[in-house]
Amino acid sequence: MNKIVLIVLCLIFSVTASCDNDSSSVDKKKNVENKVVWKMASSFPGSLNIIGEGALNFVERIDQVSNGFITIKFFEPGALVPALEVFDPVSTGAIDAAWSTPGFWAGKIPAAQFFTAIPFGPSPGELLGWYYYGGGKDLWEEIYHKHNVHPVQCLMISPEASGWFKKEIHSLEDLKGLKMRFFGLGAIVMGKLGVSTQLLAPGDIYPALELGTIDALEFSMPIIDKDFGFYQIAKHYYFPGWHQPFSTNELLINLDRWNALSSSQKAQIETTCTESVVKSLAMSETRQPEALEFYESVGVTLHRWPDEILEKYKEAWDQVVEEKASENEDFARVWNSLSAYRDKYKVWKSLGYVD
């Protein structure tokens, strides 16, 4: 009898072990199938202060947060596609993802520019309020989904400077006829004031300034501009960044790839990007004083635009936004949404904050 019981127990153990092994194999197979390995093209070099640095930090962090189940490989500008041409390959699925900024797609999606920077626009806190709770995020995703791309806000930086010039600017007359690298909606404003603007990839700006292809430029904030050495050629640096009181960057993801993710994986990417927004803004606020001290030590003159010139910039911006809204439905929808939020917010802003 004992032998029979022993045989039965052995058989039960064998079957159970076999089932456990089969279950383990299924789990392992499932895990392998769910592992994400993506290539991410970039519009910015990984060595670039905060913006490129943020891309490398994101890649490392998402690997940690996902416990190795989301692996994203960063590719320098030009390694997969040119810096200003990452959108279409993400749209078609030729590449999985890209690290860029919405303002680069102004020719394709005029409304995208609102999700990089807004001339005379909100502070970061007000912007994030509109983005998360005022409809901004939903609008952005809806617009990009038409192009089979899913956007995730993944970086934010402080106000930018508004220009490097070889000569001091005394009046708006001094701007007329200048050839200037300028970005986003601010470039249209400068065009209204007689400046000939063009958009250049980050790595192309210094050579253009050195060769005289452009006379002046705006690119970013002090610590980032320092990396490019513009101060070696242009010695007059102007503030404030009326055209970009904040700037945000995006993680572009092919929509089919995004939809294939589990809800947990989507949350991991969004959460990691939200962390990146907070840390990049903190980094950019912290690093500016050091850069300004450096500029003064090498003979750069720091200027603040007179109020009368800022007023002219604002007048030109009001014309630009009205014209663009009349030309493009999505542009108008985003602008109206943001304006409605700001109108409601301004009572709180006037009461809650010290001027």
Q: What is the DSSP string of 83-143?
A: TT--HHHHHHTSSSEEEE-GGGGTTT-GGGGGGT--TT---HHHHHHHHHHSSHHHHHHHH
Mean pLDDT of 13-32: 45
When the pLDDT of each residue in the chain is averaged and rounded to a whole number, the result is: 92
Are both 274 and 225 inside the same structural domain? no
How many alpha carbons lie under 13 Å from residue 49 in its C-beta half-sphere?
22
pLDDT tens digits for range 158-178 = 999 999 999 999 999 999 999
Are both 211 and 96 inside the same structural domain? no
Question: Is 16 domain-assigned?
Answer: no
Q: What pLDDT band is residue 10 in, cutting at 50, 70 and 90?
A: very low
**pLDDT (0 to 100) of residue 34:** 86
* Structural domain of 292: 163-245+288-320
CB 180 within 8 A of CB 195: yes
Q: What pLDDT band is residue 4 in, cutting at 50, 70 and 90?
A: very low
73, pLDDT greater than 60 = yes
Helix (H, G, I), strand (E, B) or coil at 181: strand
Q: Measured at the alpha carbon of residue 118, what is the angle toward residues 161 and 209, in degrees to the nearest 5?
A: 40
Number of domains into which the chain is organized: 2
Question: Is 343 domain-assigned?
Answer: no
**pLDDT (0 to 100) of residue 1:** 43
Phi/psi of residue 240, each to 5°? -85, 170
CATH of the domain at 80: 3.40.190.170
**pLDDT (0 to 100) of residue 346:** 95
Buried b (16+ CB within 10 A) or exposed e, 183-216: bbbbbbbbeebebebeebbbebbbebbeeeebbb
Mean pLDDT of 330-337: 98
Tokens in use for 324? 């663009």
Are both 222 and 255 inside the same structural domain? no
Q: What is the value of pTM for the model shown?
A: 0.88
Are both 310 and 227 inside the same structural domain? yes
Q: What pLDDT band is residue 19 in, cutting at 50, 70 and 90?
A: very low
**pLDDT (0 to 100) of residue 236:** 98
CATH of the domain at 238: 3.40.190.10
Are both 63 and 207 inside the same structural domain? no
17, pLDDT greater than 80 = no
25, pLDDT greater than 50 = no
Are both 53 and 131 inside the same structural domain? yes
Phi/psi of residue 148, each to 5°? 60, 35
Residue with tokens 């850069």: 291
Are both 181 and 299 inside the same structural domain? yes
